[in-house]
Structures are given as structure tokens and as C-alpha cells.
């Protein structure tokens, strides 16, 4: 590990960043309008990124939690629920940056919780945001921190906490190039909790203080929501058939899934691509393989004779996991590092995955240790889907999640104490 930067160097790097960030408003509105024209911003909400609130501030104590994208935000739900149960006078603001996250988050928000987009990291926008919301605590999840937002929040005496932090060796190496900036920013957090020992050590090396290892919040999140009417209709459509799901897939995952499905035509595969913008190309590939398919986006149903149901919609994994008994978790056959297995486990699916789980090493190791997941090599999937022990593995995974959901009390209590103790 390298020597920590001096206080002077740390301060100089942050001051330079904050000075440069004053130029952001010169480019912000045109840039956001271009993104809007390309469908990458919400037409009704893009001005939230300029610090303009779309909702009133709730009365009483407010805890603000930020995570960059959908998976990270969804992982916070269990923690919010635990805090909400312990403090009925506390409300919660969740911010994220990706447009794709907003609809899914809205369907899965805990009570007394609202969502906004985080403003761009410029002093003018951050002032508007903080003037309106006046949070009593700021909680940042995983590894994203915006230096301007952190500095502006700390300057108002609002305590800062980082939870569920995870930083890989590769991410750590990139951040060491700006070690002085990260040291200054991370030193402003009065509480930091990490998912694993490696992340904790890397955060300490970058300047974080008093890091605790508490494990991942993802396995303690409540099950994803699903529309009850949709679920009833789809259960009727697939009645009598074996259903399995390939979730958050990339091309390598899809090649494995479709090869297996070609050998299991009596079953129904629900194929859920990570990027629904690829759905047309996937549909062409299904036709080339002579696999009959229906598409969610076209309002079609997975009736008898349909081999693959292309679930090309955002935010419905809670629906697909409820219909299936087994889930192939995507990102593991494509050098992506894998995606979250706990959402499937929480809804009673046996978990199957490919070899690359570098983004969730601890999570998949825990599932494997308790006999709740199966690691596959290329070509193994069809045989794995026919294993007689899948139901037992699903039950073990569901049991892990249920145990974890009762483990958030200490962290929730510590965060509420920070919020209430603000001077």
C-alpha cells in the first residue's frame, strides 16, 4: 500500500475539483437535452439533475440515501425498512443517476420513501438540492462518491455514512491515481461499512477511517415486487409446464441458455436480457434457431407451443422469478463478473451460474458453501436443469435470505443515531 497523501495535497486536489465543477452549468442543460433526445433522460424529470426538486420535502427527520443504479438502490430496501420500523417519524429520500432505475425503484419503494435523481456535481445544483431536502443524514452505497456532493453535505454539518461498500482491486488501482482527492473525500465519512475484507483494506488505503466489514446488503433485501394481476394471468398461461428463467443476460449467457432450451422443448424459458435494447437482435437469433417465441413488449403471452418468452421489459424480475423454479443468473459467461443472485434466491429459485462471478465472489461462495447454487462450465446447463436436487437447493438459498433479513438491526440503529445526533 502507498503512503497516504499529505493534508496539503489532499486539500489542493479537492479545491481544484470544486473549482473545475463550477463550469458544469455551462454545459449541463445542452448535454441533458441531447441525452433527452436520445431517450437517456426522463422527459418529465430531467431537471432534477439541475437540483430542481419534483416533490415536497416530508416533515420531520429525513435520511438521504444514494446509490448509482438499480441494483445498488434495490439493495438498500431492507435497510430502509429496518430503519422505518425503528423510527416511525423518519422519512427517506433515495437518489440514483440512471433513468432505467426510476420505474423499477418506484414499484419497489418502502413506506415513507421517495425517489429523485441526484443533481450533477456542481455547487449551484447541489445548493438547490440541499436547500430543499435538508437531510439529517447522507448515506452513500457501494463505491460511488461524488466529491462535490460529499463536500457540500459535510460543509452543512450533515453526517455522512458509506454502507455496503465494495471496491475491486482494479477499481482501487484506478483511484490511486487520484489518491489525494479520494483521501479528502473519504475522510469526511464518519461511518464506513464494507462487504468484504478486501474492500475494507482498499478503502483504508484510499483514506477511509474505521471501516467495518458487515457483508452485503443485497441478500437482506425484501423480495422484488410483482403485479398481482399480471402474475395470475401468466400463471394460468404457463400452467402445467416447467418454467425456468435466464435473468440479466448477455450474449454468452444467451448462447448457453438457448442451447439448453433446444434440448428441453417441453419446458418454457423466460429470457430476460440485461439490456432490453438488444431484444430485436435476440428475437432474430431465436427465429434462426427455430425456437418459437413470444415477446413481452408486444403484449404476447407464453402460451402452449411457445418455447422462449422474451421478457424485453424493465423492472419485472420479481414477476419472472415467481413463475420459475430455477434461474440462470446472467453475466457469468461473458466476463462481466456476474449479477445479483439473491433476488432469485429470495423468491425460491434454484441458482445456476457460469464461471465468472468476480463482482459477487463472497455472495456466490456463500451460496456454494450451503449447497444453494451450482457453478456451470460451458455446455453444462441442460444437464443441470434436469438435476433432481434443484428444489432442495432453492430452499437452502431462500433460507439464507430469510436469516439475513433479520441481521440489519445494528446498522439501522447506528445510522438512526447519526441522524438524530446531528447538531
What pLDDT was estimated at residue 124? 95
Reported as a pLDDT band with limits 50, 70 and 90, residue 423 is very low
The CATH fold of domain 7-222+407-420: Rossmann fold (3.40.50)
Is the pLDDT at 2 greater than 80? The verdict is no
Pairing between β-strand 350-353 and β-strand 373-375 as defined by DSSP bridges: parallel
Exposure b/e, 293-320, CB count within 10 A at least 16 = b: bbbbeeeeebeeebbbbbbbbebbbbbb
Beta strands in 250-368 (DSSP E): 268-273, 293-295, 308-310, 326-329, 350-353
Model pLDDT for residues 366-408, shown as the tens digit of each residue: 999 999 999 999 999 999 999 999 999 999 999 999 988 878 9
Q: How far is CA 174 from CA 1, 2, 24, 137, 298, in A?
A: 14, 13, 23, 29, 43
Rounded to whole angstroms, how far apart are CA atoms 167 and 182?
A: 13
Find the mean pLDDT for residues 16-34. Answer: 91
In contact, 329 and 352? CB cutoff 8 Å = yes
Rounded to whole angstroms, how far apart are CA atoms 76 and 96?
A: 12
Catalytic one among 41, 48, 72, 82?
Answer: 72
Exposure b/e, 350-372, CB count within 10 A at least 16 = b: bbbbbebbbbbbbbbebbeeeeb
Instruction: Specify which residues 90 forms β-bridges with.
Output: 61
What pLDDT was estimated at residue 359? 87
Nearest to 200 by CA among 218, 220, 179, 214: 214
Model pLDDT for residues 236-275, shown as the tens digit of each residue: 999 999 999 999 999 999 999 999 999 987 899 999 999 9
Which segments of the chain belong to CATH 3.40.50.11720?
Answer: 7-222+407-420
The DSSP-derived string for 142-188 is TT---HHHHHHHHHTT--EEEEEE---HHHHHHHGGGHHHHHHHHTT
What pLDDT was estimated at residue 181? 92
Is the pLDDT at 7 greater than 90? The verdict is no
Helix (H) or strand (E) holding 256: helix 251-261
- Percent of the chain's residues with pLDDT above 90: 79
Reported as a pLDDT band with limits 50, 70 and 90, residue 104 is confident
Return phi, psi of residue 181, to 5°.
-65, -45
Task: Report pTM.
Answer: 0.88
Burial class (CB in 10 A: 0-12, 13-18, 19+), 163: buried
Residue 71: CA atoms inside 13 Å, Cβ hemisphere, count? 17
Burial class (CB in 10 A: 0-12, 13-18, 19+), 75: buried
Which segments of the chain belong to CATH 3.40.50.2000?
Answer: 228-404
Find the mean pLDDT for residues 410-418. Answer: 96
Return phi, psi of residue 26, to 5°.
-65, -25
Assess whether 72 carries a catalytic annotation: yes
What pLDDT was estimated at residue 102? 81
Is the pLDDT at 97 greater than 70? The verdict is yes
What pLDDT was estimated at residue 72? 87
The CATH fold of domain 228-404: Rossmann fold (3.40.50)
Model pLDDT for residues 136-170, shown as the tens digit of each residue: 999 999 878 899 999 999 999 999 999 999 998 88
What pLDDT was estimated at residue 5? 55
Reported as a pLDDT band with limits 50, 70 and 90, residue 302 is very high
Lowest mean pLDDT segment, chosen from 171-180, 327-336, 349-358: 171-180
Model pLDDT for residues 51-66, shown as the tens digit of each residue: 999 999 999 999 999 9
Q: Which residues contact 282 (CB under 8 A, 6 or more apart)?
A: 254, 271, 273, 310, 312
Amino acid at each position: 500500500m502507498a503512503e497516504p497523501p499529505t493534508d496539503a495535497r489532499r486539500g489542493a486536489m479537492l479545491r481544484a475539483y470544486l473549482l473545475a465543477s463550477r463550469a458544469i452549468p455551462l454545459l449541463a442543460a445542452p448535454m441533458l437535452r441531447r441525452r433527452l433526445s436520445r431517450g437517456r433522460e426522463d422527459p418529465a424529470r430531467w431537471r432534477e439533475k439541475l437540483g430542481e426538486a419534483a416533490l415536497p420535502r416530508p416533515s420531520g427527520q429525513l435520511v438521504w440515501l444514494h446509490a448509482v443504479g438499480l441494483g445498488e438502490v434495490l439493495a438498500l430496501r431492507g435497510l430502509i425498512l429496518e430503519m422505518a420500523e425503528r423510527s416511525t417519524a423518519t422519512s427517506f429520500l433515495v437518489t440514483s443517476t440512471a433513468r432505467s432505475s426510476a420505474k423499477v425503484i418506484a414499484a419497489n419503494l418502502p413506506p415513507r420513501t421517495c425517489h429523485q435523481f441526484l443533481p450533477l456535481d456542481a455547487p449551484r445544483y447541489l445548493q438547490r438540492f440541499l436547500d430543499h431536502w435538508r437531510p439529517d443524514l447522507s448515506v452513500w452505497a457501494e463505491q460511488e462518491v461524488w466529491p462535490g456532493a460529499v463536500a457540500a453535505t459535510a460543509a452543512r454539518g450533515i453526517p455522512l455514512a458509506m454502507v455496503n461498500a465494495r471496491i475491486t482491486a482494479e477499481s482501487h488501482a484506478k483511484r490511486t491515481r487520484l489518491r489525494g482527492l479520494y483521501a479528502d473525500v473519504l475522510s469526511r465519512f464518519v461511518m464506513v461499512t464494507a462487504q468484504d475484507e478486501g474492500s475494507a483494506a482498499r478503502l483504508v488505503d484510499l483514506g477511509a477511517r474505521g471501516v467495518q466489514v458487515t457483508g452485503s446488503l443485497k441478500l437482506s433485501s425484501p423480495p422484488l415486487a410483482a403485479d398481482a394481476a399480471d402474475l395470475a394471468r401468466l400463471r394460468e398461461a404457463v400452467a402445467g409446464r416447467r418454467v425456468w428463467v435466464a435473468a440479466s443476460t448477455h450474449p454468452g449467457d444467451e448462447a448457453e441458455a438457448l442451447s439448453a432450451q433446444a434440448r428441453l422443448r417441453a419446458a418454457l424459458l423466460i429470457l430476460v436480457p440485461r439490456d432490453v435494447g438488444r431484444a430485436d437482435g435476440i428475437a432474430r437469433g431465436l427465429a434462426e434457431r427455430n425456437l418459437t417465441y413470444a415477446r413481452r413488449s408486444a403484449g404476447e403471452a407464453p402460451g402452449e407451443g411457445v418455447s422462449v418468452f422474451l421478457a424485453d421489459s424493465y423492472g419485472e424480475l420479481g414477476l419472472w422469478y415467481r413463475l420459475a423454479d430455477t434461474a440462470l443468473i446472467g453475466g457469468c459467461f461473458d466476463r462481466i463478473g456476474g449479477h445479483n443472485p439473491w433476488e432469485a434466491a429470495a423468491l425460491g429459485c434454484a441458482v445456476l451460474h457460469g464461471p465468472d462471478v468476480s463482482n459477487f465472489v463472497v455472495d456466490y461462495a456463500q451460496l456454494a458453501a450451503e449447497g444453494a447454487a451450482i457453478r456451470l462450465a460451458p455446455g453444462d446447463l441442460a444437464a443441470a436443469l434436469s438435476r433432481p436436487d434443484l428444489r432442495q437447493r432453492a430452499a437452502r438459498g431462500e433460507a439464507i435470505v430469510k436469516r439475513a433479513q433479520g441481521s440489519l438491526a445494528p446498522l439501522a440503529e447506528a445510522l438512526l443515531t447519526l441522524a438524530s445526533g446531528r447538531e
